[in-house]
């Protein structure tokens, strides 16, 4: 039984890594040994688990069933180890974190680095992308999310906020009548973020909230792309304050309607209620929240 459990764990690693060679590297084994182990497991079970081709591996129906059960098995083992591990003064283990790409340019990265320095035996894997990630399907332990968190089945904790500014290129602004009110921007071109609503809310000095819907000729999926297209004169957009300040310093952007403010983006740490690495996850989230 012990040998079969080991073979199942190796099979799961092959599926997770995508190739025998990548799995072998991760496990510290020879590729031939990994391939042989999966083949022996298939013979012992009397089924084919993987379709093999020169370019990729794909799961058979039996393989999908076994992989799902293998993930549950490995998650239970990791949870048991983590339950006693972080209780010590020197926690260790693996933690996979996904966060928006713009976070790389914020102080939150300092917190990530400080955590890594404080807990050197915790191996951290970071995925920085503005494309939405699925915590369960993509195998992440923690997701840092920016925006206004909706109710979900996941655990969540606020770890800060990101202020935003409305910006455009100087040449683009010079072509337009000076805006005095958000309604004046209805006829402007807008560079929109794909994962945000088409409407933009601005709050005036007197607390009045106005919603603007402008023409969206360009829609992008990263905050950095918002900056670049706005800097090239394609319209007005809302970007994180640290990026806007960079544009101001370079003369690439100007602040539009500076007396009006945009709603800040909340920053949240989100993780499954039954985390695979529950104590490491809560340790990481608590560290971020305290900073």
Q: What's the pLDDT at 58?
A: 85
Task: Please give the structure tokens belonging to residue 265.
Answer: 């983006």
| DSSP-derived secondary structure for the chain | -HHHHHHHHHHHHHHHHSSHHHHHHHHTS-HHHHHHHHHHHHHHHTS--EEE-SS-EEE-HHHHHHHHHHHHHHHHHHHHHHHHSTTSSS--EEEEEEE-GGGGGSTHHHHHHHHHHH-TTEEEEEEE-SS---TTTTT-SEEEEEE-PPP-SSEEEEEEEE-EEEEE-HHHHHTSPPP-SGGGGTTSEEEEETTS-S-EEEE-TTS-EEEE--EEEEEESSHHHHHHHHHTTS-BEEEEHHHHHHHHHHTS-EESSTTSEEPPEEEEEEE-TT-TTHHHHHHHHHHHHH-
Q: What's the pLDDT at 4?
A: 81
Q: For the chain, which residues score pLDDT lower than 70?
A: 54-55, 76-89, 148-153, 274-278
Q: What's the pLDDT at 89?
A: 60
Cα R_g (the chain), whole angstroms: 24
| DSSP-derived secondary structure for 244-283 | HHHHHHHTS-EESSTTSEEPPEEEEEEE-TT-TTHHHHHH
Q: What's the pLDDT at 274?
A: 64
Q: What number of residues does the chain have?
A: 291
Strands 142-147, 93-99: pairing kind: parallel
pTM above 0.85, yes or no: no
Contacts of 254 (CB under 8 A, 6+ apart): 167, 168, 169, 170, 173, 248
Q: What's the pLDDT at 199?
A: 84
Q: What's the pLDDT at 133?
A: 83
Q: What's the pLDDT at 92?
A: 83
Q: What's the pLDDT at 277?
A: 67
**How many Å apart are CA 253 and CA 216, to the nearest integer?**
19
Domains of the chain: 2-84 (1.10.10.10), 93-162+266-290 (3.40.190.10), 164-262 (3.40.190.290)
Q: What's the pLDDT at 54?
A: 65
């Amino acid at each position: 039984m012990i040998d079969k459990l080991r073979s199942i764990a190796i099979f799961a690693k092959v599926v997770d890594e995508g190739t025998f060679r990548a799995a072998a590297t991760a496990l510290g084994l020879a590729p031939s040994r990994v391939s042989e182990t999966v083949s022996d497991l298939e013979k012992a079970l009397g089924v084919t688990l993987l379709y093999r081709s020169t370019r990729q591996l794909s799961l058979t129906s039996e393989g999908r069933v076994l992989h799902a059960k293998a993930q549950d098995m490995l998650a239970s083992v990791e949870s048991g180890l983590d339950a006693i591990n972080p209780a010590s003064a020197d926690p260790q283990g693996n933690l996979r974190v996904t966060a928006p790409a713009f976070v790389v340019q914020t102080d939150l990265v300092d917190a990530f680095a400080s955590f890594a320095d404080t807990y050197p035996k915790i191996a951290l894997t970071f995925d920085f992308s503005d494309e939405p990630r699925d915590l369960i399907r993509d195998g992440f332990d923690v997701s840092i999310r920016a925006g206004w968190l909706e109710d979900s089945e996941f655990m969540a904790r606020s770890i800060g906020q990101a202020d935003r500014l409305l910006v455009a290129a100087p040449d683009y602004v010079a072509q337009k009548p000076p805006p005095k009110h958000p309604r004046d921007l209805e006829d402007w071109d807008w560079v929109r973020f794909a994962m945000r609503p088409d409407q933009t809310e601005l709050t005036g000095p007197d607390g009045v909230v106005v919603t603007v819907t402008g023409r969206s000729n360009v829609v992008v999926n990263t905050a950095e792309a918002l900056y670049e297209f706005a800097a090239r004169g394609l319209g007005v957009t809302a970007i994180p304050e640290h990026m806007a300040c960079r544009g101001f310093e370079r003369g690439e952007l100007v602040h539009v309607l500076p007396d009006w403010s945009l709603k800040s983006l909340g920053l949240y740490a989100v993780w499954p209620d039954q985390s695979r690495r529950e104590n490491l996850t809560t340790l990481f989230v608590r560290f971020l929240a305290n900073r």
